[in-house]
């Protein structure tokens, strides 16, 4: 039932056995430059992977399919540091895993829905919907609800009420709470709430397909899907392939590691 808590609790137990003696006075790593010589884990297809490949090609980097894999890799000792986003790292902390976090020396990055470059009308409709939601204060309420939830799976699953008409073909990761997650046979999260509200707003049903994160942008770019709203951060490289909506959130990059304890 509490998928997030069960995973992080298991990781926390494992970390107790794996963390060795260390000083609490060690200076925190706060920049990508300071990661040189250390082993690093990132999620495949994310902006973190792109930054490290392009700007720090000599670094020892492991890529994993999901953001949960970052913390599993840290606990197993296969990497010393991970790169994650502030909201998802907060969820891991709330779930019980003892981690250190520090903000990387990078500016906050806007997060938006993406659309095929030929589908400017749908993007414009989404931007108008998002503007209305923001101006009414409802967008802030939705973010607060999901960001403050220790167990996102306990929230009601958002549903689209429109059942007839041409469906919006959307793809989503469904493994990045609180933005998107599996909840039994359903898909839930902040992204899903925004998507279903948008579909109702333009009176169209939704056809939602789960894909790994690194396959979302190619699916939209190739026209296999109309859009994706799946915790996707806007970068110059990604804008070459798809259209980004107005941002519905800004994400901060974190450097994460297992908390070191002294005995």
Average pLDDT score over residue span 128-138: 98
Residue 182 neighbours by CB distance under 10 Å: 15
Q: What is the percentage of the chain residues whose pLDDT exceeds 70?
A: 89
User: Helices 120-136 and 190-201, interaxial angle, to 10°?
Assistant: 110
The predicted-structure confidence for 88-122, as pLDDT tens digits, reads as follows 998 898 888 999 999 888 889 999 999 999 999 99
Geometric angle at alpha carbon 214, from 210 and 218, rounded to 5°: 85
Same fold, 3-108+253-258 and 113-246: yes
The predicted-structure confidence for 164-198, as pLDDT tens digits, reads as follows 999 999 999 999 999 999 999 999 999 999 999 99
The predicted-structure confidence for 189-234, as pLDDT tens digits, reads as follows 999 999 999 999 999 999 999 999 999 999 999 999 999 999 999 9
- Assign a CATH topology to domain 3-108+253-258: D-Maltodextrin-Binding Protein; domain 2 (3.40.190)
pTM of the entire structure? 0.84
- Assign a CATH topology to domain 113-246: D-Maltodextrin-Binding Protein; domain 2 (3.40.190)
> What span, in angstroms and rounded, lies between the C-alpha atoms of 247 and 189?
17
Q: Using CA of residue 237, residue 243, residue 247, residue 248, what is the dihedral sign? A: negative
Residue spans per domain, the chain? 3-108+253-258, 113-246
> What span, in angstroms and rounded, lies between the C-alpha atoms of 66 and 252?
18
Instruction: Say if residue 41 is exposed, middle or buried (CB neighbours under 10 Å; 0-12, 13-18, 19+).
Output: buried
> What span, in angstroms and rounded, lies between the C-alpha atoms of 244 and 111?
9
């Amino acid at each position: 039932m509490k998928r997030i808590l069960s995973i992080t609790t298991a990781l926390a137990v494992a970390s107790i056995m794996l963390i060795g003696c260390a000083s609490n006075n060690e200076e925190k790593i706060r920049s990508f430059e300071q990661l040189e010589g250390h082993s690093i884990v990132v999620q495949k297809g994310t902006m973190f992977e792109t930054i490290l490949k392009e700007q720090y090609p000599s670094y020892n980097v492991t890529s994993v399919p999901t953001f949960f894999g970052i913390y599993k890799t840290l606990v197993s000792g296969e990497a010393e540091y991970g790169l994650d986003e502030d909201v998802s790292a907060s969820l891991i902390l709330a779930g019980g895993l003892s981690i250190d976090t520090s903000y990387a020396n990078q500016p906050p990055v806007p997060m938006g829905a993406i659309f095929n470059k030929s589908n400017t009308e749908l993007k414009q409709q989404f931007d108008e919907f998002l503007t209305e939601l923001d101006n009414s204060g409802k967008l802030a309420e939705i973010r607060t609800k999901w960001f403050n939830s220790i167990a996102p799976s306990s929230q009601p699953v958002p549903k689209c009420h429109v059942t007839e008409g041409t469906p919006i073909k959307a793809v989503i990761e469904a493994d990045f709470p609180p933005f998107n997650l599996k909840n039994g046979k359903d898909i839930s999260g902040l992204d899903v709430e925004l998507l279903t509200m948008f579909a109702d707003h333009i009176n169209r049903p939704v056809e939602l397909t789960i894909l790994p994160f690194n396959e979302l942008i190619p699916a939209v770019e190739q026209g296999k899907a109309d859009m994706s709203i799946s915790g996707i951060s806007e970068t110059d490289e990604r804008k070459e392939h798809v259209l980004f909506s107005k941002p519905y959130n800004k994400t901060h990059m974190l450097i994460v590691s297992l908390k070191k304890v002294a005995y």
